[in-house]
Amino acid sequence: MREVAIIGVGMNKWGELWNDSLRDIYVDAAIEAIKDAGVDHVDGMYIGSMTPGLFVGQEHIGSLMADYLGMKGLPCTRVESACASGGVALKSAFLEVASGHSDIVIAGGVEKMTDCSGDDATYALATAADQEYEVFHGATFPGLYAMMARRHMHDYGTTREQLAHVAVKNHKNGAKNPKAQYPFEVTLEEVMTSVMVADPLRILDCSPITDGAACVVVADLATARKICKKPIVKITGIGHATDSIALHSRESITRLDAVTTAAERAYKMAGKKPTDIHFAEVHDCFTIAEIIVAEDLGFFKKGEGGKGAESGETHIGGRIPINPSGGLKSKGHPVGATGIAQAIETVNQLRGDAGARQVKGAKVGMTQNMGGSGGSCVIHIMEVI
């Protein structure tokens, strides 16, 4: 397999983008990434999108986006793995370049979530859970993560305050991210008194509904060296795993086996261990998710993720900065685009381009993108050369 690098990144300012359509927001992000890379052509494209069919009634978006990018004829595939769709698109692009089939490939992600009502969006998102044995009974995603949170609190003594610390920290980072949907700080008290969504999770524990797109350009290392004017960021490890999509079918609901397995695979491929990682962008769709994932990636012992969130170790400047971008919580979570936006933040950090939220001396970064309540997970380890 050839070595593969990310040579260009692009994304919109995320938010409620009422003036722009699904195709517009994707094209904007893709053009920015192509210009950042400085390439004059691409050989293929993968687009992560969870359910444009339910959100805006549009499927077949591979061809649609190729056409509106002015690249009719380009081989383009939409990939889906719920909220991990973006991460899987990046993996697909990596494999196409690593195999030698193509030299320059776009990995993108897009979701347009505000063209439908809030309860229709809740329904659309819930299709990533077991439709007949979870959703049928009225379970929602906040509800599934709330059940994980309550059990984590019961088993390990994780506190309501510790959950809130995740939101406070991510908003503090996101306040420094010009692309974030909610670039403002929140206080512990604001999180803990915000509207209840699914007890014990409140609205400020939840990632928002977002319109947004994100794209990266990947290339083989030889092409990257020829074209790239910025520091080259190599993808050195990939781990991908699945689990039962129904939470109740798993042995434990306070450990995410798709995450531990994907992490094991990514660490092995990159020849790294948790202490080698300088920062991580993780899938904080809910505050409890960041706590459990930080444990399952090996940054904290099982059960100590809550204490870790409270201790400040996950802040920029801490032992293991988590979500310097602001995470899904502050940056926004257009589900299919999230995995790509995590890669963009990682590239920006490794290039030294992250401005006020720069993690000093960052040479090795990780992205952890997850689908459903942990039914799929894809992890990338990246290093700057």
Say whether residue 289 binds another protein (CB under 8 A): no
Closest CA to 45 of 79, 16, 13: 79
- Quick one: which segment of 157-165, 189-197, 332-340, 345-353 binds another protein (CB under 8 A)? 189-197
Say whether residue 193 binds another protein (CB under 8 A): no
Say whether residue 134 binds another protein (CB under 8 A): yes
Edge-to-edge strands, sheet with 233-242: 76-79, 44-48, 104-112, 211-220, 4-11, 233-242, 376-384, 364-371, 279-281
Report, in Å, the least distance between residue 202 CB and another protein: 9
Report, in Å, the least distance between residue 117 CB and another protein: 8
Q: Is the peptide bond before 142 cis (omega within 30 degrees of 0)?
A: no
To 5 degrees, how large is the angle CA 163–CA 165–CA 168? Answer: 125
Say whether residue 77 binds another protein (CB under 8 A): no
The residue (of 246 and 282) whose beta carbon lies closer to another protein is 246
d(CA 275, CA 260): 15
Say whether residue 198 binds another protein (CB under 8 A): yes
Say whether residue 122 binds another protein (CB under 8 A): yes
In contact, 372 and 140? CB cutoff 8 Å:
no
Selected catalytic residue, list 278, 315, 333, 380: 333
83 as an active site residue: the answer is yes
Report, in Å, the least distance between residue 262 CB and another protein: 19
333 as an active site residue: the answer is yes
**CA quadruple 291, 293, 296, 299: dihedral positive or negative?**
negative
The residue (of 136 and 184) whose beta carbon lies closer to another protein is 136
The secondary structure of the chain in percent helix, strand, coil, rounded to multiples of 5, reads 40, 20, 40
Other CB atoms closer than 10 Å to residue 124's CB: what's the count?
20
Adjacent-strand bridge partners of 96: none
Say whether residue 205 binds another protein (CB under 8 A): no
Report the residue from 2, 154, 225, 226 that binds another protein according to the rule CB under 8 A. 154
Burial class (CB in 10 A: 0-12, 13-18, 19+), 323: buried
Binding to another protein, residues 226-285 (CB under 8 A) = 246-249, 253
Say whether residue 147 binds another protein (CB under 8 A): yes
Active site residues: 83, 333
Contacts with another protein, residue ranges (CB under 8 A):
117-120, 122-123, 126, 132-140, 142-143, 146-148, 150-151, 154, 195-201, 246-249, 253
